[in-house]
Structure 1
Amino acid sequence: MSLETVVTDIKTEAEARAAEIREDGEDRASEIIQNAEADAEELLEERSAAIERQIEQEREQTLSSAKLEAKQARLEARRNVLEEVREQVETQLADLDEDTREELTRELLDAAAVEFEDAEHVSVYCRESDKALLESILDDYDGFEVAGTRDCLGGVVVESDESRVRVNNTFDSVLEDVWDDNLKQLSDRLFNQ
């Protein structure tokens, strides 16, 4: 065997080994690339799913916030309408014609007088513009006298030092009671619920 043959055999063997190493390296590189691509695809899917969840969550929050704002706006509008209705009622009570005002004042005074049957001196208060009306009505009541005025829509406040009782039968107090007792029905009727 000649030296040339040995060199050729070594060279052939080295080339075969290099080709084998190259092929193994290419296979290994291909495997690494496939794994990296699979990992990247999985990561992309996870991120996409996370972004979709975040978008859906933000959409739900925005929708919920918009619904809450709309509900608050409806409640505010209803509150404003109810306030306007109450103001209209108060205006109508303040502007009652004389006959109706006298009739209602007598009824409220009669209802209050029951509490003061044994009292010798009873003080009655009314709104400033009803003072003359009340004085004429009190001519029918022994021991009752106009003691002053109150800031109210009408009606009477009756009290006695002897019994330490005060009855507030003003239009305001009656309206407040009626309003509180019937607010839900009024709201239902006004807003067709």
Structure 2
Amino acid sequence: MSLETVVEDVRDEARARAEEIREEGESRADEIISEAEADAEEIVQQREEEVEAQIDEEREQALSSAKLTAKQKRLEARRDVLEQVRDGLEDRVAEVDGERREELTRSLIDAAAEEFDDDATVEVYGRESDEELLTDLLADYEGWSFAGTEDCLGGVVVESESSRVSVDNTFDSVIAEVWDDELKHISERLFEE
């Protein structure tokens, strides 16, 4: 074997080895590219799912917020209507006059009288425009007198220092009590719940 043959064999072997390394490198590069593309597709898919989930969550929050805002506006509107109804009721009660006012006021005084001893000295307060009516009605009650005005729609506030009792039988207190007791029914009738 000559030196040239040996050199040629070594060269052929080196070429074959280089070709083998190159093929392995290309194969490995193809594997890496394929893995990277698969990873990229998985990342894109995962990111799309995350974005969709975030969009759904934000849509749900916006919808929930809109529903809450609408509910609050409905409640405010109902509260305004109920307030108007109550104001109208108070206006109508304040306008009651004549025999009907006398009858209502007398029944409120009678109800308050049950809370006091017969010999008690009792002071009665009422609406300024009802002073004459109250003075006339109190003539029927021994030891009872008109003591001053009360800012109210009508009726009486009755007090006795000796028994330390105070009874609020104003139209205002009666309306408040009835209103509280009947608010659910009033709402149902107004808003057909």
Task: Give TM-score scaled by structure 1 length.
Answer: 0.93
Root mean square deviation of aligned Cα: 1.5
CA contact (8 A) 2:124 2:159 kept: yes
Do the aligned residues in 1 keep the contact of 2:126 with 2:154 (CA within 8 Å)? yes
Q: Give the corresponding residue for 2:35.
A: 35
Secondary structure, counterpart of 2:123 in structure 1: strand
Q: 4+ residue runs of structure 1 moved beyond 6 angstroms?
A: none
Q: What residue number does 2:90 align with?
A: 90
Shift of 1:191: 0.8
- 1:81-160 matched pairs, under 5 angstroms: 81-160=81-160
Distance 2:3 2:157 in 1: 137
Give the letter aligned to residue 165 of structure 1.
V
For 2:165 and 2:120, the matched residues in 1 are separated by: 13
**What letter corresponds to residue 188 of structure 1 in structure 2?**
E
Q: For 1:22-61, what aligned pairs fall within 5 Å after superposition?
A: 22-61=22-61
Using structure 2 for the length normalisation, give the TM-score. 0.93
Deviation string for 1:93-152 (max 9, x for gaps)?
111132211111111111111222422422111100000111122222222211111000
Letter of the structure 2 residue corresponding to residue 82 of structure 1: L
Is the contact made by 2:124 and 2:144 (CA closer than 8 Å) also made in structure 1? yes
Tell me how far apart the structure 2 counterparts of residues 165 and 30 of structure 1 sit (CA, whole Å).
99
The amino acid of 2:45's aligned partner reads: E
Tell me which moved more, 11-20 or 54-63: 11-20
Q: Which runs of 5+ in 1 are unaligned?
A: none
For 1:131, give the aligned amino acid: E
Q: CA separation of 1:57/1:120 partners in 2, compared to 1, >3 Å: closer, same or farther?
A: closer
Q: How much does 1:35 deviate? A: 0.9
CA contact (8 A) 1:125 1:158 kept: yes
Taking every aligned residue pair, what percent have the same amino acid on both sides? 63
How far did 1:32 drift? 0.8
**CA separation in 2, counterparts of 1:63 and 1:120?**
65
Counterpart of 2:87 in structure 1: which amino acid?
Answer: E
Give the count of matched residue pairs.
Answer: 193
The residue type paired with residue 59 of structure 2 is R
